[in-house]
């Protein structure tokens, strides 16, 4: 793959240089021309640095691809590579003024017709553009040399103060047990009990967990309210990452709901939620809650069992067994199974006579995951049906009952 990418980039470079040096401009451009050229250059420049998700990425045409061709990650430690990437991206974006002034210098240079101006009056200042170009290039080089030594960066200042982090980072990255989140194409977060690592094209920080404070960002909460009804993947939390170290600048990251909940399970100190904010549940949690609410209206099932033979939930083996599947629907209820656009009636319920009991969470999950849950049909999930995990017989939501235990004497024969 890398060789294909390399080929593509070399081709683009050769083509670019060839096109640039073989230009022969004869006519004066209109304002519309110039403005559209500038717009195209600007769009191309920033599309490379901030590629639309999955689009340019698939083609290997993002700035990250170019970076990974120039710098082979096998030759660098994780930290060096992350720093080089941030450096590369910042310098690239800073090259924008040079690109724009370069466009004007180039146009002037390759105009071959005598007494013809390449640019309309407002832009027609050859020496000014040349001056701007030279200053931009000098500025760019100066900027590069200024930030080049990344050991001076605040993130690396931290490594000086806490040298043990340096070894910790490599261990965390290479440990398959590490909890990883891919926030976007090239933005990764690695979290263990001891370390927090964030690496993107624009930022790299690796700190001990005790120096990080994560908090739901209340300043950006309203956006979450707006997208609450979108698909689950669009549900995101803004998490403010604060550091106990003054020279590390706080920043905000966007975390998908499910990652938010998983991350919270790892952290010793959970993500702080300001009091006036309610964290939206995931769709699964929401539906599970709804499921339990609905089955409370069903009749209760009396389960006769010896106290000594009372097992936990058959599925998870840890929660209390308080749910029984037993056919009690009439078959007259409006029930549907959602398959894409076509609505098919569910198969008829059958008599499940299995002994095992379940907990609320497991039976809700078993039922809900059998339904097609998308934006349109997720509120209809309760009309579907599922199969008993042990006997594969069909049951519907009306066949799910809470259990009242009727404990029988130890020597009696149990029956349900
Ligand atoms: Zn369970
Ligand atoms: Zn069964
Ligand atoms: Zn049923």
For residue 274, being part of any structural domain is answered with yes
Take residue 49 and report the two structure tokens written for it.
């640095």
pLDDT for the residue 219: 60
For residue 414, being part of any structural domain is answered with no
Residue 19: count other Cβ atoms within 10 Å of its Cβ: 9
Flag residues of the chain having pLDDT under 50. Answer: 221-234, 338-341, 416
Three-state DSSP state, 237: strand
Q: What is the DSSP letter of 230?
A: S
- 320-340 per-position pLDDT tens digit: 889 999 999 887 776 655 444
For residue 416, being part of any structural domain is answered with no
Who surrounds ion ligand 1 at CB < 5 A? 313, 315-316, 319, 359, 362
Q: Are residues 264 and 163 in the same domain?
A: yes
Q: Where are the alpha helices (DSSP H) in 227-305?
A: 257-266, 283-295
Q: Are residues 14 and 124 in the same domain?
A: yes
Take residue 81 and report the two structure tokens written for it.
């590579």
Q: Are residues 334 and 273 in the same domain?
A: no
Q: Are residues 236 and 303 in the same domain?
A: no
Nearest ligand, CA 361: 1
Dump strand ranges (E) for 106-203.
179-184, 187-191, 195-199
pLDDT for the residue 203: 92
Take residue 137 and report the two structure tokens written for it.
């290039």
pLDDT for the residue 58: 67
Q: Are residues 373 and 255 in the same domain?
A: no
Beta-bridge partners for 324: 401
Vertex 34: Cα angle to 40 and 62 (nearest 5): 15
For residue 402, being part of any structural domain is answered with yes
Q: Are residues 330 and 252 in the same domain?
A: no
pLDDT for the residue 225: 42
Beta-bridge partners for 215: 240, 272
pLDDT for the residue 142: 96
Q: Rounded to an integer, what distance in angstroms lies between the CA atom of residue 239 and that of residue 250?
A: 10
Who surrounds ion ligand 2 at CB < 5 A? 352, 354, 388, 390-391
Contact (CB, 8 A) for 404 and 357? no
Question: Strands 179-184 and 187-191: what pairing?
Answer: antiparallel
Q: Are residues 9 and 117 in the same domain?
A: yes
Q: Are residues 264 and 305 in the same domain?
A: no
Nearest ligand, CA 399: 3
- 167-184 per-position pLDDT tens digit: 889 889 888 888 998 887
Take residue 224 and report the two structure tokens written for it.
């979450």
**Domain region containing 168:** 154-278
Question: Strands 195-199 and 236-243: what pairing?
Answer: unpaired
pLDDT for the residue 345: 62
Specify whether the backbone of 101 is left (phi greater than 0), alpha (psi in -120 to 50) or beta: alpha
For residue 415, being part of any structural domain is answered with no
Three-state DSSP state, 391: coil
Q: Rounded to an integer, what distance in angstroms lies between the CA atom of residue 345 and that of residue 396?
A: 12
pLDDT for the residue 99: 95
Q: Are residues 294 and 341 in the same domain?
A: yes
Question: Based on the structure, what is the number of domains in the chain?
Answer: 3
Burial classification of residue 265, based on how many CB atoms lie within 10 Å of its CB (0-12 exposed, 13-18 middle, 19 or more buried): exposed
Q: Rounded to an integer, what distance in angstroms lies between the CA atom of residue 406 and that of residue 416?
A: 10
Who surrounds ion ligand 3 at CB < 5 A? 329, 349, 396, 399
Query: Which domain CATH number covers 183?
Result: 2.30.29.30
Q: Are residues 184 and 227 in the same domain?
A: yes
Q: Rounded to an integer, what distance in angstroms lies between the CA atom of residue 71 and that of residue 65?
A: 10
Provide the terminal-to-terminal Cα distance of the chain, rounded to the nearest Å: 62
Q: Rounded to an integer, what distance in angstroms lies between the CA atom of residue 48 and that of residue 56?
A: 8
Q: Rounded to an integer, what distance in angstroms lies between the CA atom of residue 236 and that of residue 227?
A: 8
Contact (CB, 8 A) for 206 and 289? no
408 CA to centre of ligand 3 in angstroms: 29
359 CA to centre of ligand 2 in angstroms: 15
Residue 215: count other Cβ atoms within 10 Å of its Cβ: 17
Residue where a domain terminates, one of 236, 262, 278 = 278
389 CA to centre of ligand 2 in angstroms: 7
**Residues in contact with 304: Cβ distance below 8 Å, sequence separation at least 6, in sequence order:** 405, 406, 407, 408, 414, 415, 416
286 CA to centre of ligand 3 in angstroms: 23
Q: Are residues 199 and 315 in the same domain?
A: no
pLDDT for the residue 233: 41
Contact (CB, 8 A) for 322 and 404? no
The length of the chain is 416
pLDDT for the residue 375: 54
Q: Are residues 251 and 129 in the same domain?
A: no
Question: Strands 400-408 and 301-306: what pairing?
Answer: parallel
Nearest ligand, CA 319: 1
Residue where a domain terminates, one of 244, 278, 312 = 278
Q: Rounded to an integer, what distance in angstroms lies between the CA atom of residue 117 and that of residue 331?
A: 84
Q: Rounded to an integer, what distance in angstroms lies between the CA atom of residue 328 and that of residue 400?
A: 9
Residue where a domain terminates, one of 217, 245, 278 = 278
Nearest ligand, CA 298: 3
188 CA to centre of ligand 2 in angstroms: 44
For residue 6, being part of any structural domain is answered with yes
Nearest ligand, CA 358: 1
pTM, two decimal places: 0.66
Nearest ligand, CA 386: 3
């Amino acid at each position: 793959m890398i060789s294909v990418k390399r080929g593509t980039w070399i081709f683009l470079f050769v083509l670019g240089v060839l096109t640039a040096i073989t230009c022969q401009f004869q006519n004066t451009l209109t304002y519309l021309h110039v403005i559209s050229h500038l717009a195209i250059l600007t769009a191309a420049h920033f599309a490379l640095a901030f590629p639309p998700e999955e689009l340019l990425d698939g083609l290997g045409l993002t700035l990250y691809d170019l970076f990974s061709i120039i710098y082979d990650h096998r030759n660098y430690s994780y930290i060096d590579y992350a720093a080089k990437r941030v450096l590369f991206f910042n310098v690239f974006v800073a090259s924008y003024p040079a690109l724009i002034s370069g466009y004007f210098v180039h146009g002037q240079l390759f105009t071959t017709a005598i007494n013809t101006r390449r640019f309309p009056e407002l832009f027609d200042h050859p020496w000014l553009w040349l001056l701007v170009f030279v200053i931009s290039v000098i500025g760019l080089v100066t900027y590069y040399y200024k930030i080049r030594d990344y050991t001076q960066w605040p993130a690396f200042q931290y490594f000086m103060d806490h040298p043990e982090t340096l070894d910790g980072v490599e261990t965390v990255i290479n440990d398959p047990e590490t909890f990883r989140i891919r926030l976007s194409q090239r933005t990764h977060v690695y979290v263990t009990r001891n370390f927090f690592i964030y690496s993107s094209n624009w930022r790299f920080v690796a700190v001990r967990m005790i120096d990080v404070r994560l908090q739901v960002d209340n300043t950006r909460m309203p956006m979450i309210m707006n997208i609450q009804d979108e698909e689950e993947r669009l549900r995101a939390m803004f998490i403010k990452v604060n550091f106990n170290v003054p020279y590390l600048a706080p920043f905000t990251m966007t975390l998908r709901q499910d990652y938010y909940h998983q991350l919270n399970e790892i952290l010793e100190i959970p993500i702080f939620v300001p009091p006036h904010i309610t964290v939206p549940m995931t769709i699964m949690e929401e539906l599970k809650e709804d499921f339990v609410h609905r089955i409370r209206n069903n009749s209760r099932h009396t389960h006769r069992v010896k106290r000594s033979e009372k097992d936990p939930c058959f599925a998870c083996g840890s929660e209390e067994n308080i749910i029984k599947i037993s056919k009690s629907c009439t078959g007259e209820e409006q029930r549907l199974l959602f398959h894409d656009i076509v609505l098919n009636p569910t198969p008829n319920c059958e008599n499940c006579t299995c002994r095992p009991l379940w907990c609320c969470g497991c039976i809700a999950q078993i039922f809900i995951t059998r339904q097609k849950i998308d934006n349109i049909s997720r509120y209809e999930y309760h009309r579907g049906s599922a199969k008993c995990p042990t006997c594969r017989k069909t049951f519907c939501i009306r066949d799910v009952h809470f259990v009242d235990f009727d404990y029988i004497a130890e020597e009696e024969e149990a029956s349900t």
